[in-house]
Structures are given as C-alpha cells and as structure tokens.
Structure 1
Amino acid sequence: MMTTMNKALVEIFLPAADQSFDVYIPLESQMSEVLLLVSSLLSDISDGKYKANGNAVLCDATTGIIYNINMAVAELGIQNGSKLMLI
C-alpha cells in the first residue's frame, strides 16, 4: 500500500488543454524529476492537447513565478492544495 505522507496533492492547470488536474507529487523529489513526470502524465491524460517536449516549466499558478528545477518540491513551499501551472 502506498502512503501519501510524503506527497502533496496539488492542482495543476494546463493552459494548452484549458483544464486542471489534481496530481500527487513527491515532496522529497527534485522539481526537475517532478516536471518530467507531470509533463508526461498530463500529455497522456489531456487527449493529445498537450505534448511533452522537454521544454515545459512549472510555475505558481497565482504569481506566475517559475519554480527552480534544482530544488526539492518541499523546499519550494509546495504543499497540499498548491496551485501550479504547466506551460
């Protein structure tokens, strides 16, 4: 059984598909790894509206500030309920 203690449930808005998705992301992972996982996942579940191309960035959906991919998710202050945007 998988525990969600070390994960955060975040909402990721995907402008390319004009949809939001709720996704669990691991808090201790580097943002660069999470970015790869999330772009690939959203590419799969957006019915082709979004294509993962390796150039994506994750940013704070409210402020537009781009997250540093060299930091761990937890270090960036991301937590349950955070709203992110994949562009």
Structure 2
Amino acid sequence: MNKVLVEIFLPASNRSFDVYLPLESRLSEVLPVVSALITDLSGGTFKANNETILCDFETSIIFNINMTVSELGIQNGSKLMLI
C-alpha cells in the first residue's frame, strides 16, 4: 500500500500532527480514522463529529470526500487542516 506523509494542523489546539495517508483510499474512508486519531493525540482538545472536514492548509479549499487521496493531489509534505 502506497502512503504519503502529511502534516495535519489542528486549529482547536494550535498543533500539527504528522500522519500517513493511503494514496488509493477515498477521503470518506480516511477522514473518520484520522479524526479519531487526532482526537486521541490532541488530548481531547478536538472532538470529531459528523461535520468534521479536512481541507488544504494554504488555500482552505475543502476536499471532496468521494475522491481518493491521490486524486486530490495530496502528496508527501502536504499541509492539511482538520476542522
């Protein structure tokens, strides 16, 4: 399985986390797992729910959850934001 290492910024705690994402998985599959992981890593500062979104850190464009990580152009070193 091919993966990319990305940095996910969490505004709720003003912290960033490095996370591996599988390139061929749809964001709808990745988002719940990443949300749960960040909830744990943030020590409860962030609470994931069904309105949680992942977007590009630089442009704030919200990613389409029906596309794969690869299709979204996410690559090693990409900076994302979880809100």
Q: TM-score range by the shorter chain?
A: over 0.9
Q: What's the TM-score once normalised by structure 2's chain length?
A: 0.97
2:24 to 21, 28, 47: 28
Q: Which amino acid aligns with 1:62?
A: E
1:79 to 61, 75, 82: 75
RMSD over aligned CA atoms reads 0.8
Q: Which amino acid aligns with 2:46?
A: Y
Q: What's the TM-score once normalised by structure 1's chain length?
A: 0.92
Aligned-residue identity in percent:
69
For structure 2, list consecutive stretches of 5 or more residues without a partner in the other structure: none
Q: Which runs of 4+ in 1 moved over 6 A?
A: none
Q: How does 1:41-60 map to 2 (within 5 A)?
A: 41-60=37-56
